[in-house]
Amino acid sequence: MQPIYSLLLSLLWPIWVGVLARKAWVQPDYRAGWWERVWVSAGLGRGWSGPTLWVHAVSVGETRAAAPIVRAWLAAQPQADAARIFLTQTTPTGRATAQTLFEDLIREDRLRMAYLPIDHPWLMRRLIRSIRADLLLLMETEIWPGLLSQARALRLPVALANGRLSEKSLRGYAWLGGLARDAFASLGLVMAQTEGDAQRLDAAGVRGRVVVTGSVKFDHEPSAEQIAMGRRWRRDLAVPRVWCFASSREGEEALVLRAWVSHRPPNTLLLLVPRHPNRAAEVAELVRSMGLRLERRSQWVPAGGPSGEPAAGPAPDVWLGDSLGEMTAYLSAADLVLVGGSLLPHGGQSPIEAAALGKPLAFGPHMQNFRAIASALLEAHAAAEQPDAEAFLRWADQAQSAQGELDAAAEAQGARAAEFVLAHRGATQRCLRALREWRQPASVEAWPRSGR
């Protein structure tokens, strides 16, 4: 099926260029790096002589998951000062997250970035030769047939870290037949989050070694700077209760806002943080259409601002988190958290960061992408599952008094959530151990470089 796949992508390439051009016209954040999405420059790894790890992390979640592995891998190299990371991504939000997480590595030229272009085998071959890495590490579920076929042809070892595969995704890959099986068979090592993920990945066609390492997302250390920023926001917002709807997805904001208008929780601010900040204008218009007072993070001046004068006018009903890379600060400013992507069948978003901060948290019934973690949190009485937005508001109202005091049950739940995260750390070291046991990274001389 690979020749058919290549032919199809060749035919679609002009359409892909047009789609990206339109996106760049509509969304300014797609303009930066536009050329990288449709072409591959030569010599992306030029000037690097030490061991190089190529990490592909599609967006924000995968980039954050990669962070502890990136830093641990660099520190573990015999030539630590010469070791390098090349990071490829798909979304502007992922790149912005990386620029924040790896600011020091970028400044020291120990980490470079590029967008992954369309998965045409010819472009993937050019990309592999341009980066000249020792090892390719894919994050979570980044299975690209063109990339993997060329990695196999050029003898570039490939591993999958923090691997997860739902039953729905497994059925989807089955429709691709031999194309998907060949892609999975190209993985030399799979480090799965759970035993269930390992079994499904094995069923998908993995022939390499499969080990269960847990989720590296537990190993991500919340930024102390952002925690302090969130606490300052909390103080300056000057409202007894702040409830955060974190990483909300399409259609969910309307559900929560309608419930909010119906319940009108007293002395409470809704901190609404869309999963994709480029939807902020759309969400802001939705808030205003419901007659709610809105403040946007990007336009906010704290009470008492630069002049020290009190803020004029009534306090907002909704504070819209429309910035990139500040989720830790938003969560730190909140008293209670509802995890987005879970009220409608979007698969859910990760509850780990809110849990790590010791926040009483809830999620809806649609946590398929994080079912193992969600189930474990519920079993540990470290989270609550609510069927809809109305139930979340009732739960939150019972958990916190109108004056802002959390009840004993909510306090205990938050403490258990933080303990849960601490108990599940260690996946990063298990991944590094699995990589060492699998094989030493192959020499870059073992496969063709650019120009050969």
Q: Which residues form the catalytic set?
A: 62
Three-point CA angle 402, 405, 409, nearest 5°: 115
With b for 16 or more beta-carbon neighbours within 10 A and e for fewer, the 239-252 pattern comes to ebbbbbbbbbbeeb
CB 168 within 8 A of CB 141: no
Best CA proximity match to 65, nearest among 82, 81, 36, 89? 89
What does DSSP assign to residue 222? P
In angstroms, rounded to a whole number, what is the distance separating the alpha carbons of residues 13 and 91? Answer: 18
294-296/158-163 β-pairing: unpaired
Best CA proximity match to 186, nearest among 130, 124, 114, 117? 124
What does DSSP assign to residue 33? T
In angstroms, rounded to a whole number, what is the distance separating the alpha carbons of residues 96 and 13? Answer: 26
241-248/294-296 β-pairing: unpaired
CB 63 within 8 A of CB 92: no
Structure tokens at 402: 């109108």
Best CA proximity match to 160, nearest among 221, 205, 113, 130? 205
